[in-house]
Chains A and B, each alone.
Chain A
Amino acid sequence: MAWAVQKNSAKTEYGMAKHIVYMASIGKGVTKRLAMAGGCIASSADGRSACGSAASEDDLPTEVWNKIKDHPCYSEDAHHYFARMHVAVAPACNIQCHYCNRKYDCSNESRPGVVSEKLTPEEALKKVLAVAAEVPQLSVLGIAGPGDALAEANAEKTFRTLELVSQVLPHLKLCLSTNGLALPDYVDRIADFHIDHVTITINTIDPEIGAKIYPWIFYDHKRLEGIEAARILHKRQMEGLSALTAKGILVKVNSVLIPGVNDEHLVEVNREIRARGAFLHNVMPLISDPAHGTHYGLTGQRGPTPAELKAVQDRLGEGAKLMRHCRQCRADAVGLLGQDRGAEFTLDKLKTTPVFDPAKREAYLEVVKSERADRQAAKKEAEAALNVTPPEKPALVAVATKGGGRINLHFGHAAEFQVYEVDSRGARFVGHRRVDAYCQGGQGDDNAIDGTLKALLGVSALFCAKIGGKPKRLLADCDIEANDSYAFDYIEASIIAWYLARRHQPAAQTA
């Protein structure tokens, strides 16, 4: 096994060398930021965001894969390499959901519906240009609220923004997300604007359940409540979904998992939306906290545990391409999934007109192409060794990463860990766990470690670029092996190598 690991490390050094050459070539600004990205400054900022599928090239039709392969929200693979941004040009909403409160804003708060500043289409264009100039990974522009992108008060601003941006940055993929109430009225325009990804939030197909989630809708100049409101919303969602897929537009469906309300029901939702052509089903946990002022938060409706969420996702596993890398980001999030650089690009910081340099992006795309191929090859090679071993219960491994598909983040700087499941069939991404970074201004935070240990429940090992002696011991006390011997290697290949080594030394490594 030592042989396999060593070979992989040699490859990785080559990959890193290419990465460094690339960073040197695209200018000091980016190099400096990338170098800082693992530091306490970056991790103390709002380091949360990202959505997507574990689907890979082998699982999807070529035309679908080509549409999503660089889309961080739709492809788990792409979320290691590409960034997205949301512009908050759509503040109004035409329905009320019990899990949403758009009045609340805090820069440390990361969840849908939350933004720090609302933008006009012209301001949004300026912001997109600034981000494109600074972040060569940017591949997607989405409009996700904070209200509904297609609510009547917002629709013109939404389409105007997409029009302005697509004129200047035609390479960006355009997305929008909606609750579906107004969707049937805009399907033709969505197609005309070459928006090839739409997300519809569908929490139920049963109006009785809907009445427990949506207190009201505003439709046809009337505020409607109860089952009648839920029935109309459901009808419009299904109509819009079918019309979009008939036009060949990729539709992802988001469902908020609300324990005791729609958890059992999501299997039926999955069946229905698949029948209507949705290509992904993203089941997200309810975020519920009294401090957010939402109805669910104030009435004590709890969100699901990571295990409950995974159980539902596993049940839908064969029926839908699930998106376990979704981080439920803010409606003004910027950056790679798992980080939010929105605060760097607020309007008051955009004094000059930024210049987007297509050459930088081309250079980045070239690097990504070879890195991806390299990482896949390392994964396949590691998997080949697995085929001979008999199956056993999968183990969970948490990984500290700041992108690129590598184990490249210090334990103390991680604001989240990506969780992989590994068994004799291979290593698969299954989700992420948010934590408070352990390292606060150079000091270990003993309060944070308790939350981290709780978040890592059920995990057998934690892989990171480096970890201090104290947190390592605390993790060991909880039967979690902290491991920094795979620092800067590819995630999947390292996990498989670890898994194989562990199988061969059961006495020394039982967790």
Chain B
Amino acid sequence: MAYKIKAEQCTGCGACEFECPNKAIKQKGDVYAINPDKCTECAGFFDKPQCAATCPVPKTCVPAF
């Protein structure tokens, strides 16, 4: 149960990093990446994964599997 960020679509804006309740998102080079060990898809915090809800690019924050 984890989300991932499609690096080729990421604009590097950082909105997801700020919203992530698990602090699972960090900058890697020019883009952001989700640590799958920390990601819970926001279970227990929010109805929907915050990274996907705040990301400006459609279908960029998606389920990892």
Contacts and interface: CB of A to CB of B under 8 A. Distances in A.
Interface in B1-53: 11-15, 17-19, 46-48, 50, 53
A153 B56 CA distance: 13
Nearest to A92: B15
A93 B13 contact: yes
Contacts of B47: 222
B13 A147 contact: yes
Contacts of B50: 221
A268 B53 CA distance: 32
A462 B53 CA distance: 51
Contact of A91 (B14, B53, B54): B14
Contacts of B54: 92, 94, 153, 218, 223
Main secondary structure of the interface of B (DSSP, over half): loop
Interface string A144-160: 00010001111000000
Query: Which of A94, A103, A221, A222 has the largest count of B CB atoms less than 10 A from its CB?
Result: A221
Contact of A221 (B13, B14, B17, B53): B53
A223 B48 contact: yes
Given A153-B19, A223-B48, A218 B53 contact: yes
Interface string A489-506: 000000000000000000
B56 A152 contact: no
Query: Which of A92, A147, A154, A223 has the largest count of B CB atoms less than 10 A from its CB?
Result: A92
Contacts of B11: 91, 102-103
B57 to A, nearest CB: 7
A170 to B, nearest CB: 29
B13 A153 contact: yes
Nearest to A96: B56
Chain B interface size range: 10 to 19
Nearest to A157: B14
Given A91-B14, A93-B13, A102-B11, A222 B48 contact: yes
A92 B48 contact: no
Interface string A85-113: 00000011110100000110000000000
Contacts of A154: 14
Contacts of A11: none
A223 B50 CA distance: 9
A118 interface: yes
Given A96-B56, A221-B53, A152 B18 contact: yes
B53 A153 contact: no
Contacts of B53: 218, 221-223
B46 A221 contact: yes
A92 B48 CA distance: 19
Contact of B15 (A93, A103, A118, A221): A93
Contacts of A152: 18-19
A96 B19 CA distance: 17
B63 to A, nearest CB: 17
A96 B56 CA distance: 7
Interface in A463-483: none
Nearest to B52: A223
Given A94-B54, A223-B54, A151 B46 contact: no
B18 A102 contact: no
A151 B13 CA distance: 11
B31 to A, nearest CB: 11
Given A221-B50, A222-B48, A92 B57 contact: no
> 8 closest Cβ contacts across the A-B interface?
A153-B18, A92-B15, A91-B13, A223-B53, A92-B13, A103-B11, A218-B54, A153-B15
18 contacts: A91-B14, A92-B18, A93-B15, A94-B54, A102-B56, A118-B12, A147-B15, A151-B15, A152-B18, A153-B17, A153-B19, A153-B54, A218-B15, A218-B53, A218-B54, A221-B19, A221-B53, A223-B48
Given A92-B13, A94-B54, A153-B54, 8 more contacts: A91-B12, A102-B13, A103-B11, A147-B13, A153-B13, A153-B14, A221-B19, A222-B48
